[in-house]
C-alpha cells in the first residue's frame, strides 16, 4: 500500500528522510511547521514537497478529509515534557495543536491506517500521553510504545526518545491479505531487526523496556563511514613528534585516562564491540575548516561541566538546540589531542577543581592544560551524521552555526525512525 503521508511538525525533514530511507512507496501529501528556519532547511532538501507554514490548530476536519491521507507522522513540541522544563504537560499552550490532532482523528470517518509519534523521554508519564492512548483505543487502533536510544543500534549518540506506532484495526481486518499481526510485546520489534534473540537478551528487553540489537553490518546507518585514525588531518605538536606505533598505543590507552571528564561508555549496557565509533561520523579537514569550532578560553573555563570525548569512543551525549553557544548538558565536545600526559593533567585539574569548588578561577598554567586538549565542537554536519541524516542532506546558504545547531537539536534520529516505519508497516 502506498503511504499517503501527513507530516506534522515537519522540522528539517527527519521524518521525510526516514521515509526515503525505508524504501517504501510513499507520497508526502502535506508537511506543516511554523518554524521559519526549519522550513528553509526542509524546502532546500525537498523542494517539490507541499510544505505549509501555519499553526496546526488551523487544520480543519474538512481539510484533513480532503487530503485523503492514510499515514500521520508527527513529532509534537517536547518542551511541555522535558526534564528541564516546567512540565506543564497538556496545560502548556504548545500542546494545544497535538490535542487538536487527536480530536480530528476521533472525528474523521476513514482513519489514518498508520500513526507514528516521537517525543522526549518524560512524555510516557504525561497526561498528554494518556489522552493519546485514550484516542487510539476509542478509534480501535493497535499500538506499541518504545523508549529507544541510538546507542542500541550501535550509533555513538545517546538520544533517548519516546516512540509510538499505531495501526488502525478496522483497516487491518478488512484488508485483502488479512494477515496483519497484532503486536503487543516489545520483543516483536527486536525480532524484526534480527532473526534470533538469546534468552539473556529477551530478558533484558523485558526488564528494561528497551530494544536489544546486534549492531550487525546490515543495520549500519548509511551516513556512517569509516575514516582514518587521524580524522581531521589535525595533528598536535606532540603527535607530530611521535611515531605511528606510539600514536596507536596512546589512542588505545586513552580509554584508561580522563574517565572523570566524560560519561563513560563502559557504564552503558548497550555499547559493545560491534558499536560504531564517533570517528565514523566525523568530517575530515578536507571538507571543513575547523578553525571556527575550537573552544575559546572563555568556553574552556566551563571545562568542569563538559562531556569530553575523543574520536575512538562509542558514545556522545544528546545534542540539544543550545549546542554551540551553551555548554552544560547541550552536547559533547571533541578532544583532538591524543597525548596521554595532557589528558592526565586535565583529569587531575578537574578532580582538584571539583574538590576545591573552584570551577573556573584559573591562571595561565591551568588554562594551558586545557588548551593542550585541543577541544572543539562537533560541526553541524557531524551532528547531522550522528542523527543519521543521509549524505545528501544539506543546509541552505545564509544560515548561521547557531541556527544549524538549533534546528538539529530539535530534530530526531533518522535511522531509528526508519526502523520504526518499516516495523509499523510490515505485514507479518
C-alpha distance from residue 338 to each of 237, 287, 300 (Å): 11, 22, 18
Query: Hey, which residues does 280 pair with through a beta bridge?
Result: none
Query: Hey, which residues does 423 pair with through a beta bridge?
Result: none
Burial class of residue 387 in the structure, from the number of CB atoms within 10 Å of its CB (0-12 exposed, 13-18 middle, 19+ buried):
buried
| Terminal CA-CA length for the chain | 14
Burial class of residue 10 in the structure, from the number of CB atoms within 10 Å of its CB (0-12 exposed, 13-18 middle, 19+ buried):
buried
| Cell, residue 236 | 598536535
Helices (H), 23-141: 36-45, 61-67, 96-107, 127-138
List the Cα angle 270/253/378 in 5-degree steps.
60
Residue 324 CA to residue 77 CA, distance in Å, equals 21
Q: Which residues contact 346 (CB under 8 A, 6 or more apart)?
A: 258, 261, 303, 308, 369, 370, 372, 373
Q: Alpha-carbon dihedral of residues 351, 352, 358, 362, nearest 10 degrees? A: -110
Q: Which residues of 130-165 are buried (b: 16+ CB within 10 A; e: fewer)?
A: ebbeebbeebebbbbbbbbbbbbbbbbbbbebbbbb
Catalytic residue among 78, 135, 139, 388: 78
Residue 217 CA to residue 287 CA, distance in Å, equals 26
Per the listing, cell 580509554 goes with 255
For the question of residue 78 being annotated catalytic, the response is yes
Q: Computed over its alpha carbons, how large is the radius of gyration of the chain? A: 23
| Cell, residue 326 | 551553551
Report the candidate in 239, 233, 247, 238 with the shortest Cα–Cα distance to residue 279.
Answer: 233
Residue 214 CA to residue 203 CA, distance in Å, equals 15
Specify the pairing of strand 71-74 against strand 141-148. unpaired
Catalytic residue set: 78
Amino acid at each position: 500500500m502506498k503511504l499517503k503521508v501527513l507530516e506534522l511538525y515537519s522540522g528539517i525533514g527527519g521524518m521525510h528522510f526516514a521515509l526515503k530511507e525505508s524504501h517504501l512507496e510513499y507520497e508526502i501529501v502535506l508537511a506543516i511547521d511554523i518554524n521559519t528556519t526549519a522550513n528553509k532547511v526542509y524546502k532546500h532538501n525537498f523542494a517539490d514537497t507541499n510544505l505549509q507554514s501555519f499553526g496546526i490548530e488551523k487544520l480543519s476536519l474538512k481539510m484533513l478529509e480532503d487530503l485523503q491521507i492514510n499515514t500521520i507522522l508527527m513529532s509534537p513540541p517536547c518542551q511541555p515534557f522535558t526534564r528541564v522544563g516546567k512540565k506543564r504537560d497538556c496545560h502548556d499552550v504548545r500542546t494545544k495543536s497535538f490535542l487538536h490532532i487527536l480530536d480530528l482523528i476521533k472525528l474523521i470517518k476513514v482513519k489514518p491506517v498508520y500513526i507514528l509519534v516521537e517525543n522526549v523521554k518524560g512524555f510516557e508519564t504525561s497526561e498528554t500521553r494518556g489522552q493519546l492512548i485514550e484516542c487510539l483505543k476509542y478509534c480501535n487502533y493497535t499500538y506499541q510504545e518504545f523508549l529507544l536510544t541510538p546507542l542500541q543500534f550501535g550509533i555513538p549518540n545517546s538520544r533517548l526518545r519516546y516512540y509510538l506506532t499505531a495501526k488502525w484495526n478496522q483497516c487491518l481486518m478488512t484488508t485483502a491479505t488479512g494477515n496483519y499481526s497484532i503486536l503487543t510485546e516489545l520483543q516483536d520489534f527486536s525480532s524484526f531487526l534480527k532473526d534470533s534473540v538469546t534468552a539473556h537478551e529477551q530478558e533484558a528487553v523485558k526488564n528494561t523496556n528497551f530494544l536489544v540489537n546486534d549492531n550487525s553490518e546490515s543495520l549500519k546507518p548509511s551516513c556512517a563511514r569509516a575514516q582514518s585514525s587521524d580524522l581531521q588531518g589535525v595533528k598536535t605538536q606532540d603527535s607530530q613528534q611521535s611515531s605511528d606505533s606510539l600514536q596507536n598505543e596512546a589512542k588505545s590507552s586513552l580509554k584508561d585516562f580522563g574517565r572523570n571528564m566524560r560519561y563513560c561508555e563502559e557504564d552503558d549496557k548497550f555499547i559493545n564491540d560491534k558499536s560504531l565509533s564517533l570517528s565514523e561520523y566525523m568530517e575530515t579537514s578536507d571538507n571543513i575548516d575547523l578553525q571556527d569550532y575550537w573552544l575559546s578560553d572563555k568556553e574552556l573555563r566551563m571545562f568542569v561541566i563538559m562531556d569530553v570525548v575523543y574520536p575512538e569512543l562509542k558514545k556522545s551525549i544528546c545534542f540539544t538546540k543550545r549546542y554551540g553557544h551553551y555548554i552544560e548538558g547541550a552536547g559533547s565536545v571533541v578532544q583532538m589531542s591524543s597525548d596521554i600526559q595532557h589528558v592526565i593533567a586535565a583529569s587531575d585539574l578537574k578532580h582538584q577543581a571539583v574538590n576545591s569548588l573552584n570551577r573556573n578561577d584559573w591562571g595561565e598554567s591551568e588554562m594551558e592544560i586545557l588548551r593542550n586538549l585541543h577541544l572543539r565542537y562537533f560541526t553541524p554536519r557531524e551532528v547531522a551524521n550522528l542523527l543519521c541524516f543521509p549524505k545528501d542532506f544539506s543546509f541552505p546558504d545564509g544560515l548561521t552555526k547557531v541556527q544549524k545547531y538549533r534546528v538539529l537539536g530539535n530534530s530526531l534520529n533518522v535511522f531509528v525512525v526508519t526502523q520504526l516505519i518499516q516495523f509499523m508497516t510490515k505485514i507479518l
